[in-house]
Structure 1
Amino acid sequence: MASKWRTKKADLKTNLAKRRPDIAELSIPTHFRCPISLDLMKDPVTVATGITYDRQSIETWLDMENMTCPVTNQELNVEDLIPNHSIRKMIQDWCVANHSYGIERIPTPKIPVTAAQASEILSGIATASRKGETTKCRELVVKVKAFAKESERNRRCFMSKGACRALAASFSAFASGPSENSTAGVLEDILSALAFMLPLDEEAAWHIGSPESLNSMVSILKGGDLAGRLSAVLVVKELVSANREWVEVMAKTEGLIEAMVQLIKEPIFPQATKASLVATFYMVNSDERTASRFVDLGLVPVLLDILVDTEKSMCEKALAVLSGLLSCEEGREKAYEHALTMPVLVKKMFRVSDMATEFVVSALWKLCKNYKEEEEEGERRGGCLVEALQVGAFQKLLLLLQVGCGGSTKEKATDLLKLLNGYTSRAECIDTMDFRGLKRPS
């Protein structure tokens, strides 16, 4: 019975395949193809020369500073692009008629924002901010975000009209005003829109980096909604990565470091965790006192737990921060105490990326080198190096020098081998890749 059913099922598939039209036989009409990409146009626009292109193709062409029509070689500009509704409707009808070939109907594209519209909206935001009109400001900010999410072209249009400065100035204005529930809502909306307009220019950074603005961002980082907290940490990352001066300002902002560590300990989105790690990296590498503050908040064991099982990008960032924290004595003390430190670091040496390997070698070097300097605790020093040998550090460092690495990493790896070589008689070198049996500290 089962055999007959399988036979009938196979015959049915064969008959259906015979009845289905061959997509290879389908020919796209020439006037439906973009002259640049030669693909079916999804958003046809006609330029001043009368030639119709797909919007994405011609905008990319113009963005590359080719200010002429590809077909006629006459001068063009972005404002010359006019939606060709007739061709678009014909293409949609053709897609529907050829649905049996697997052709899907192209969606009706949304009309992009114009430069005049962008200027008007941003001007309205500035006016509403001066007058303290939170409802009006929120409406306009939501429009900016909606347009920016629609397309990269819309985002660039707002950027060219000074969206960063307008939004940052608006945030500063409301942050400096009376603290009310309605104000908290508009601040989160502004940050959310601002996160779409990065990077910040100098004037925008000055507004968003004012004491009042930073205090408001700390409040959002601690108690805002998920989108608000994500936007806030993205803006913080942008500030500290742009200028060393902002790192010092951020470090002095009350509650900011605590809020960033909390985002790493209790992640809300991978993007927010990564942004927090990047911002933390810049801060811990700027000053040992700042690094010590992150250590005191328990970041070292959190990073080691993250490294046990995480994807490449997160792993690289966690290793970068950990290496920075090990530059201070407090960070090394916490690492020495943690059972996973050596096994995790050695395991990650070749398993992630070249960048991760460099951070691993840097972290191991800081741990082992500084142990050597603490001669009054010789027994503990031996324990650190012996543990590194036991989890296979010696073999991996030798392999790293054989396959090649950067100058600074090569020097550290060579130095580590010299340190470890003195303890090879006290430990059996094993190549352990699995440390699931180790007990994590409670």
Structure 2
Amino acid sequence: MIKSSDQINRRILSFPAVHPCEDISPGILLGSLITLAHSICNYQSNIFATQRRNARETIRQIGILLIFFEEIRDRALTLPDSVVLCFSELHFTFQKVQFLMEDCTREGSKLWILMKSQFIAAQFRVLIRGISTALDILPLNLVDVCGEVKELIELVAKQSRKAKFELDQDDERAMKRVLAILKYFEKGIQPDLDFIKWVFDYLDIRSWSDCHNEIKFMEEVITTQCSDFEEKEVPFLSSLVGFMSYCRVVIFETLDYRNHDQTEVRCNLESLSCLNPEDFRCPISLELMTDPVTISTGQTYDRASIQRWLKAGNMMCPKTGEKLKNTELVPNAALKKLIQQFCADNGISLCKTSRQSRDITRTILPGSPPAAEAIKFLSKFLARRLFFGTNEEKNKAAYEIRLLAKSNIFNRSCLIEAGTIPPLLSLLSSSDRSVQLEENAIAALLKLSKHASGKKVIVENGGLKVILAVLKSGLGLEAQQIAAATLFYLSSVNGYRKLIGETPEAIPALVELIKDGTIWGKKNAVVTMFGLLLYPRNHERVLAAGTVQVLVDILASSYNAELITDSLAVIAALAESTEGAVTILQTSAMAVIMGLLQSLTSRRGKEYCVSILLSLCSNGGKEVIAILAKDSSLMPSLYSLTTDGSSHASRKARSLIKILHKFYETNSWGLMGSGVQHERPVHVR
């Protein structure tokens, strides 16, 4: 009957309790009550940073009630309806008590629970009053338990009626001190560190990782504040995040992240994609999809939009008009991850409401005045550390910049304005650096390169040469892969695409990473190559570096769908020129791409395949068309794309079908090539 609370899905300080059903078995209800009471009493061993007295008194009272419930169970007593009714009310209240205990001891929630002390004390008071009300209607004389137990229950009823459950004076003092610190920041005054440390000692926040967990928790709370009422709390939460970020850097000198924190950072490494952001919009609402799902026709929509469509009685696909075989909605986890990464990179926060999905650019401006001043102070502190600190201090500063600039545009602008980029570049040029220092420095530059002014500062300070040196011969493979991603963001500026392409070692270094990197590194190098190809004169350099054969090898051997799709995107771009088509035709690409057209599940991958084949026909002449015409399995795949593919894929598939039909017609009349433009012959493997 009891479902374990899921901390990820339940917002903090929400209490989704449910009343037991009316016809529940008394035995099941009693067993569930005992389980709940045990769960609440187990919090006795937990550390309560705040609300200590209220929590202790609540646990004590429920512990006494547990004795009562267990005696009823052990004696197998029959419960009259009036007792069952009372127990149902207690069960409902116990659920809420359990949620409250869970929140008061939740990892990373110490500061937020402190700042909600008045509300939480009131919740304890309300819940104990709920227990008192239930015990008032309990016909104790109808329950055959021993006299001592009855006396205990009567005592609990009496105490729960009189218990005050007020705000603890020490909690109130700590809360006022935090508010005073935020006031200092708002006025542009750095608060005294001893003043801050008193609060941290009170909350038992003793280390860098403790502080980091508080920040992560509050950032998660911010992302779930979606109603108009909850939105009002976001500026205050932002102030607390700014305050804690300042403290994490200034107070805690030593990085003591636990193993799972290191894993989290490594798993969250930059992974690029050739996907068009327009693919992230729901075809129905045209809004960014927050919960993309795929229906039976293979089309993807935002869950809320397609559910409204189906609820209205529509049983056909909105995009294709095809009748739905079923109404099953399959979550598209891969696309959701890409959308979240895109939003993080661009300072977009996706928030779900009962009305409509919406995207809010939260991080372009500071969340609050105190947060803004805290980050400005912090940025200057980090810049000084990068210039004058020890190697250990410089490494920590680079790591902190990496975290601060991860998904916050305002933070990036402050860090850039404070002058952190030149010393980060110097760290990469220094002979006295470690693998970890190099990785953190290049990762920090990657985050800052996403900002328009960051790109400019990097290039103007000779950063391109430094980043290319890391790409070519960095101390660790991870740093090389991050360097490739940094080049991608720099290449978003047309002038820098030209500059990177004209640097002799740039494109060959990317090709080497495609050959020898991890899947993640290969993807970054491939997508960076795609970005460089947006400058036409880079096509010749990419071809000269032997890129095509390396990409064809990936298509023939890789099992990573995203890497295959991105490799196809680069080949499609190269195939648009005669030189590119000739180079592609000199490899085994034709056979591989024709096979992928039939085997790939990615619609974008199929579109790239058709685009390549179409370009090869245009630039390669009748010999290419003849090879395609001989493959009887090609036509069904092309026809499928005309109905199931995107508008671009459908158009390209129709064009290729038309070329092949013309070839069939002229061939059957003995007029080979009369309707096909005669390009110079090419050698096709």
**Length-normalised TM-score, structure 2:** 0.45
**Over alpha carbons, which structure has the higher Rg?**
2
Query: Unaligned 5+ residue runs, structure 2?
Result: 1-30, 41-95, 124-216, 244-260, 262-370, 669-684
Equivalents in 2 of 1:169, 1:187: separation in Å?
Answer: 14
Instruction: Tell me the number of residue pairs that the alignment of Structure 1 and Structure 2 aligns.
Output: 350
Equivalents in 2 of 1:125, 1:226: separation in Å?
Answer: 26
**2:119 counterpart (51, 60, 77):** 51
Equivalents in 1 of 2:100, 2:569: separation in Å?
Answer: 46
Aligned residue for 1:33?
99
Aligned residue for 2:422?
169
The answer as to 2:386 corresponding to 1:320 is: no
Aligned residue for 1:421?
661
Deviation of 1:227 after TM superposition, in Å, equals 2.4
Contact 2:481-2:520 at 8 Å conserved across structures: yes
Deviation of 1:255 after TM superposition, in Å, equals 1.3
Contact 2:448-2:455 at 8 Å conserved across structures: no
Residue 238 of structure 1 aligns to a residue in which SS? helix
Amino acid of the residue matched to residue 33 of structure 1?
Answer: F
Deviation of 1:131 after TM superposition, in Å, equals 5.6
Please give the root-mean-square deviation of Cα atoms over the aligned residues, in Å: 4.0
Contact 1:319-1:360 at 8 Å conserved across structures: yes
Deviation of 1:194 after TM superposition, in Å, equals 3.4
Aligned residue for 1:271?
520
Aligned residue for 2:314?
none
Equivalents in 2 of 1:170, 1:307: separation in Å?
Answer: 41
Q: 1:299-314 residue pairs with structure 2 within 5 A?
A: 299-308=547-556, 309-314=558-563
Amino acid of the residue matched to residue 228 of structure 1?
Answer: A
Contact 1:171-1:187 at 8 Å conserved across structures: no
Deviation of 1:400 after TM superposition, in Å, equals 2.3
Deviation of 1:333 after TM superposition, in Å, equals 1.3
Aligned residue for 1:219?
469
Equivalents in 1 of 2:655, 2:240: separation in Å?
Answer: 64
Query: Unaligned 5+ residue runs, structure 1?
Result: 1-21, 84-106, 108-113, 373-380, 428-440
Distance 1:174 1:148, change over 3 A: closer
Contact 2:404-2:411 at 8 Å conserved across structures: no
Contact 2:222-2:237 at 8 Å conserved across structures: no
Equivalents in 1 of 2:396, 2:550: separation in Å?
Answer: 40
Distance 1:34 1:194, change over 3 A: farther
Aligned residue for 1:189?
440
Aligned residue for 1:293?
541
Q: 1:61-140 residue pairs with structure 2 within 5 A?
A: 61-62=224-225, 66-68=230-232, 76-79=236-239, 122-130=379-387, 136-140=393-397
Give a deviation string over 1:305-326, Cα, whole Å, max 9, x none. 1112322211110110010111
Deviation of 1:248 after TM superposition, in Å, equals 2.0
Equivalents in 2 of 1:157, 1:356: separation in Å?
Answer: 32
Aligned residue for 1:400?
641
Give a deviation string over 1:131-165, Cα, whole Å, max 9, x none. 697664334224545x669xx8xx75993672355
Residue 361 of structure 1 aligns to a residue in which SS? helix
Distance 1:79 1:64, change over 3 A: farther
Residue 424 of structure 2 aligns to a residue in which SS? helix
Aligned residue for 1:344?
592
Amino acid of the residue matched to residue 542 of structure 2?
Answer: F
Q: 1:205-216 residue pairs with structure 2 within 5 A?
A: 205-210=455-460, 212-216=462-466
Give a deviation string over 1:200-225, Cα, whole Å, max 9, x none. 22221112223621101111111102
Q: 1:145-164 residue pairs with structure 2 within 5 A?
A: 145=402, 156=408, 159=411, 162-163=414-415
Contact 1:33-1:41 at 8 Å conserved across structures: no
Residue 33 of structure 1 aligns to a residue in which SS? helix
Distance 1:134 1:56, change over 3 A: closer
Aligned residue for 2:223?
60
**Length-normalised TM-score, structure 1:** 0.66
Distance 1:245 1:50, change over 3 A: farther
Give a deviation string over 1:8-64, Cα, whole Å, max 9, x none. xxxxxxxxxxxxxx99973354344269x9998443332256335974663334588
Aligned residue for 1:141?
398
Q: Which moved more, 1:211-220 or 1:49-58?
A: 49-58
Equivalents in 1 of 2:646, 2:545: separation in Å?
Answer: 33
Aligned residue for 1:230?
481
Equivalents in 2 of 1:231, 1:216: separation in Å?
Answer: 13
Contact 1:237-1:278 at 8 Å conserved across structures: yes
